[in-house]
Each structure stands twice: as structure tokens, then as C-alpha cells.
Structure 1
Amino acid sequence: MRPFWTDLSHCDIFFCIMPNILHQLHKGVFKDYTVKWATASVNEKGTEVDRRFWAMTAHPDLRYFCKGISLISQWTGTEYKNMEKVFLGVVAGAAEKDVILAVCAVLDFIYYAHFETHTEESLQNLDCA
């Protein structure tokens, strides 16, 4: 059975399906899965990750999560991006090596997915991530 759109002259179905980076990557892949999994792997209650966020040195270009991340109930896209900037450093040294590698790969993928245009090299790096 052929798809209905194959005979439409000016239709490219792949331009109709646009990714939603905020909900699919930042909230879905990163916050809902990677953060929960990495936090649980550090310790069962998640207090170690919050403690590491509290201990982070303030910097003008980075958001300081003074109460950690476990008590935040409503997140914005900016908060996801700010947490992504420091999350690898937060879990480094507290989690197993495989967890750190997985978090690094997810973050690499998210950053490459933000490119507006890609080269062969950036697509290979995206695929490797």
C-alpha cells in the first residue's frame, strides 16, 4: 500500500514532521529519564545530587540551584538547559563510570541536535553520541 502523499507534487512529508527539542530532548530524554536514572544510581534518595548542586560555586554564566533540583516542581526550557550545562560535573565522581559515559553521550547528542545545519562530521558525531 502506497502512502497518500507520494503523488502530491509539492509535498515532502519529512518537512511536516518537526522535532520538538524542548519536550523530546530536554524534558523527555534528559530530565525525565537521564536525570532520574543518574540520580537514582548515585543514591536511592537523591540527596547526594542535591548536595552537589548546593556545593557548586556560583558563576555569572551558570544558574545556581541553591535548593538542588529535587524540590523544583515546574521546569522551564531555560532551566533544563542550565541544568544540562552542569549536570555531568554534578554526577562525576559520585556515579559509576558507565553512568557518567551515558550522561555524557546524552548531553553530546542534545548539543549536536541543536545545530541548525549539519556537516558530515557533525552528523557522524551525532551518530556516535
Structure 2
Amino acid sequence: MPGWSKIESACDDKHPSLCVLDALSTADQGYRTYSRACKDAGIKPIIRPYWADLPFVNIFQSIVPDLLHQMYQGVIKHLISWLTKAFRHDELDTRCRRIPPNHNIRLFLKGITKLQRVTGKEHSQMCRFLLGLVIGLPLPDGMSPARLLRAVRAMLDFLYLAQYPAHTTETPELLQDALRRFHANKSVFVDLGIRLNFKLPKLHSLEHYILSIVLFSTTDNYDTQ
């Protein structure tokens, strides 16, 4: 099953499930026609998927959020790499070594910019000091860091709100606001020459967190971690 974002981008004028079903209906018109229709819909040319005739199933809603792979090993991993490119490597690592010992934050005494095979747990530990790590650092050419700080804070807000063990009617609105603030300020990474676009499937997946929480409750019910 391909990613939701790929299917949505191919089905701008209709719901993704209808777009996919239309492509599947061409299976009897020859493999070439079927293969082309599936490619246009953003799916693999599989004959008769098991869910096609299930009347009460929206297969796309079964692709639920995964904090470990989508957030910690996805968006947060990207965010840390963007910050590493925005600021000097040595300055970030030096700031890591300056964090005073405490009982709640792991110290990365060798810094974070040269780590390899970083685990989700380590990304989680970095998030605890990530915003403080970049506050006060100057950007190249005298660019104001305000948008960058807003984007980092918004993504961290979204991350921690998505992990709430209980939700009210207000928390989905807070999630939506955090995502809105990130998208409103993410252009700073384009202006810095770090990104050309934000066509990242794991970033797009955040758009579906709110609906999944409303339908299936808190994300700890379906997080692979």
C-alpha cells in the first residue's frame, strides 16, 4: 500500500478511495491500461485488493499515526538536520556540552550533529533541549531567527500534544494550531537554502493525526513504540 500523500497528490479532484477504486475497475481492460490507471492513481497494479468489496471499510483510515517512525524518526530527524545546516556544527555541539547536569535531560557531551544510527529514544531526549539549543544563535547574513524559532516550537508543541494520554475537545484544536504555526513559518528553511520544498510523506502524515485521534482515541493505542 503506497503512502497516503502520494495517492492524494494523484487524486486532487476526488476522494483518494474513489480515485483508487476507479483505477481498479480497469483491471479487465488489459494490463497496459490497468497499469497506466494505477500509476496515475499512485498505487501498485494489484489485482483485486482484499478491501475493494468491503462495504463498511475505508482502507485509508487504517493507516494510523506512528509517533516513533513518523515523528521521532521522521519529522524530528529532518528538523534536527535542518537546524544543523542553519547553524554551525561546532556551535550546536558546543552548546550541547554546556548544558548543566540534571536528572531530566540526557547530556550529549560529544554533541548531536555527528551522531549516526540515532534511535527514536535519543531523538526524544534531544527534543527536551532542542529549542533552548538554538535560542540566541544568529543566522547567516543577519537574517532574523524569529520564524525558525516559531517553526521549531510549533513542531515540538505538536509532538507533545500528539502524545497526550487523554484528550478534550480543545486539544485537537491545539494540535491544528501547532501545525498551522509550523506551516506559517517553515519558509525560513527555504530562504536559508536548506529546503527546496516540503513534499515529505512523513510531514504530510501529520495532517491526519487529528482525525485518527478523534476516531481511535490517543496515539498510544497504535504507536509501534
| TM-score bracket, shorter-length normalisation | 0.7 to 0.9
Q: Indicate if the aligned counterparts of 2:95 and 2:133 stay in contact, CA closer than 8 A.
A: yes
For residue 115 of structure 1, report the CA deviation from its aligned partner.
2.5
Q: Which amino acid aligns with 2:92?
A: V
Aligned mates of 2:80, 2:115 — CA distance in 1: 13
Select the structure of larger CA radius of gyration.
Answer: 2
Are 1:56 and 2:102 an aligned pair? no
Q: Which amino acid aligns with 1:27?
A: Q
Task: Give the TM-score normalised by structure 2.
Answer: 0.51
Task: Give the TM-score normalised by structure 1.
Answer: 0.84
Q: Indicate if the aligned counterparts of 2:105 and 2:125 stay in contact, CA closer than 8 A.
A: yes
Are 1:26 and 2:101 an aligned pair? no
Paired residue for 1:72?
115
- Runs ≥4 residues deviating over 4 A: 1-7
CA shift digits 1:57-100 (9 cap, x unpaired): 11112100010012211111211111001100001111512111
Are 1:107 and 2:153 an aligned pair? no
Aligned mates of 1:111, 1:41 — CA distance in 2: 24
Q: Indicate if the aligned counterparts of 2:84 and 2:113 stay in contact, CA closer than 8 A.
A: no
Gaps of 5+ in 2: 1-16, 22-48, 139-144, 179-225
Paired residue for 1:13?
59
- The percentage of aligned residue pairs carrying the same residue is 35
Q: CA RMSD in A?
A: 2.2
Instruction: Select which of 149, 152, 168 maps to 1:119.
Output: 168
Q: Which amino acid aligns with 2:99?
A: M
Q: Which is further off, 70-79 or 115-124?
A: 115-124
For residue 10 of structure 1, report the CA deviation from its aligned partner.
5.4
Q: Indicate if the aligned counterparts of 2:73 and 2:123 stay in contact, CA closer than 8 A.
A: yes
Aligned mates of 2:157, 2:169 — CA distance in 1: 16
CA shift digits 1:11-67 (9 cap, x unpaired): 353552122211111121111x21111222223xx1111111011111112100010
Aligned mates of 2:83, 2:102 — CA distance in 1: 24
1:30-45 correspondence runs (5 A): 30-31=76-77, 33-43=78-88
Aligned mates of 1:13, 1:114 — CA distance in 2: 24
Length, aligned pairs only:
126
For the residue of structure 2 that corresponds to 1:120, the secondary structure is: coil
Are 1:86 and 2:129 an aligned pair? yes
Paired residue for 2:187?
none
